[in-house]
Chain A
Amino acid sequence: MIYIGYLIVFGCCLTAVLGLFTSWVDRKVTARVQYRVGPPVLQPVFDVIKLLGKETLIPDGASKLTFLAAPVVGLSSVILVSTILWMNVIHPQQTFLGDLIVVLYLLTVPSMSIIMGGFASGNPLASIGSSREMKLILSYELPFVLAILVPVIHSHYSIRLGDILNMQSGSGVIIGNFSGSIAFIVALLCVQAKLGLVPFDMPEAETEIIGGPFVEYSGAGLAIFRLMKNMLLFVMPFFLMILFMGGIRFDGIHIFNALLKYLGTVALITVIRNTNPRVRIDQALRFFWGPMTVLAIIAIILAYRGW
């Protein structure tokens, strides 16, 4: 039962609030970069509520059930991931072995739900967007897995997030190592692609394929996808913080530290997204399978040497 409590309090509510807030930070920073004023704090919440009030359009030729179920499946997996991550931060000892792999696999489910939703809508533009999303998953998955092995090596081959956290609270954060910082850069760029942000937003590409998989979504379905993406915007940096920066600790000055780390990561993501143009899918593929993979392998070799 305690898990269900965690799920509702931390996984659902807190993550949703923080996710919506992060989305506001992202939009505000973007606005300031572009010399605009930017939206008020509650704007992301208003957006979701507004969408809930709109009617749901189902395109002709769509598979209705798959079309409507896809956002829900994506959202539930994000909730589950955030619950696992929160439990790790609150009780690093009580988690189960191999949760790192579970988190990694669950994190592909949101992307998969976007793909399925796009396919189910029966729209050619959505099909193009979804196929790009799939190729994007393929491209970042390889360096992402390699980068995540660096903390695993540093914590003596443990694939339990709790052990990785304990190791960091004992002997310093992983990003402090030479190998850790390289791996962090690789992982951050992969997260950028996982979140579908510029320069890796070709699956959506509003100016080209009108939002890709989301082109047919409206009303509640779109609201859930929005919420899911906003929650991911919190969950992904949070995951990176656990792996590379020692997570969050709830005593005294550490809370302030955690906030700084978190906002720093988010700011980095936002700045990357605001200073780069969109690349083509084959360029992204080359980028991730080429330089990023090499960089990740270098990080692993350095980690083996203990740097």
Chain B
Amino acid sequence: MSDIKDATTADTAPTPDDALRMADAAEKKGPVLAADGRPLKQSLNRALRLQKLRALALVAPLLIFVLVTFIAPIADMLFRSVENEIVSETLPKTTAALEDWDAEGDTIPDEAVFEALYDDMFFAQEAKLHSRLGSRLNYEQTGVSSLFRKTGRSVEDMGEVFQDQFEDLDDFWKTGENWTSFMASDEWLADIQAWDADSGDRQPRFELRDGIDDILPATAESYTRFANYVRTEDEDNVYTEDPWAVIYSSFYDDLTRADAAAIAAYSGPAAEQIKSAATAATGFETIDYSEAFLDIDEDWHSIDVWRTIKIYSPKFTNGYFLNAIDMQKSIDGPELRPENERIYGILFWRTMVMSITITLSCILLGYPVAWILANLPARNANLLLILVLLPFWTSLLVRTSAWKVMLQQQGVINDTLVWLGLVATDDRLVLINNQTGTIIAMTHILLPFMILPMYSVMQTIQPTYLRAAKSLGATNWTAFWRVYFPQSIPGIGAGSILVFILAIGYYITPEIVGGTSGTFISNRIAYHISSSLNWGLGAALGAILLAAVLLLYYAYDKIVGIDNVKLG
């Protein structure tokens, strides 16, 4: 009971929670009952519930705002670091066909894979998705970007050999109306003819005729993809749209591969045309897809390209994270990148070391200022405080550019040193475009974030403690070090956390004054987000940075204790 205080013994004002705690403690000795016979704890909880709900309702707007505008976008961005659906979505058939291919062997995939690739590429280039996938895979394998772009341009002509032969055979195969007459269900045909394009109603969703996918499975699949694309992307009428070349090649495959009995037994619409096409198709000129792709670009017979596609087939990948720690995926599992491409390890380490340096220099410079501020009469302190806050009212870019003018070799500081004769004119100090520049400029920019929490903590330290220490015989130093300093630590802690966390995420200042040796990991993140567009890698780097901060925060909590942090 000794740690429980009621209103009479507590050193703070009583709160409703005190009653709860009292009840909680009392329960150990058997439940205390309220007037209505219920346990006291329960009825207190009920009374408080409304209050808690009201409190929650009050913070709800901010909570929702933070969730929607802050947490959700960050979560979405971080999700991109593992998301890799683009490969299997753009090349669904190819990735499925590749599952049986042995990537560790030294033969390229067989004809079936190339045929699947033709189908996928055809639809991808119609939707203009192939080059997007090309740039995605180009992050892993140089040259894929142009390979996909080039292939997209030529793939349309590749299957025309079948289209021409079917159309030469019978004019029936030329028009969309004839195709839909046997591919689509009767309800859909009725719907689409009743549909008025100008009415603003949505075009009815394409429906396959029952059983047609048993007889012509590949055609049914291609036709459905085609119909969905025409309906949603082109917004043309599926009923009258003439089919694409890829449908003819699927049709040819079905006619030559499906079992002849099924086609012979078919009796739906256009049965006659299909049967005569099936007979004729056996004599058609055909193409070798593997060779056709080789004709477009010899890289299609390069095993590295196929390995890359296979490695990145799954919907999720750890590839971005591996890239972010200077590794790469290979057929034998993760491996280190070649030495001349390793960069992120160095940058992460540098970001940490420099942020700590900046935090320490902020403590060194900020502590005396905060001390003076806290010990001056209020009027003078306010004036000084305005000077501390002044940089906040100036644009970050202006301040950084001002440092450029100050620090450069023909700048103010060097000119002054030369004028004083401290530095020879041909041996001016290099203060910018290196780590020194970043540390100086960022210490200046982040200093207020250190001074303010220190100041508010120091203000609460009673000057009488110091006087008491001295009157008991302590020297100035002992009084400061043993009495004053320990009380100011919460301010240092709060300032350090603020400065450190701000510092590791900075990128504008290092970009301008950091040259090559003073840039941070954030500069690479910014590069990948806005320039190389490798958002997955940017997200992975960001996720690692976030994890590092959380880890340090946790360590800080364990070592110093987060309760020791005071912002005021």
Chain A complexes with chain B: no
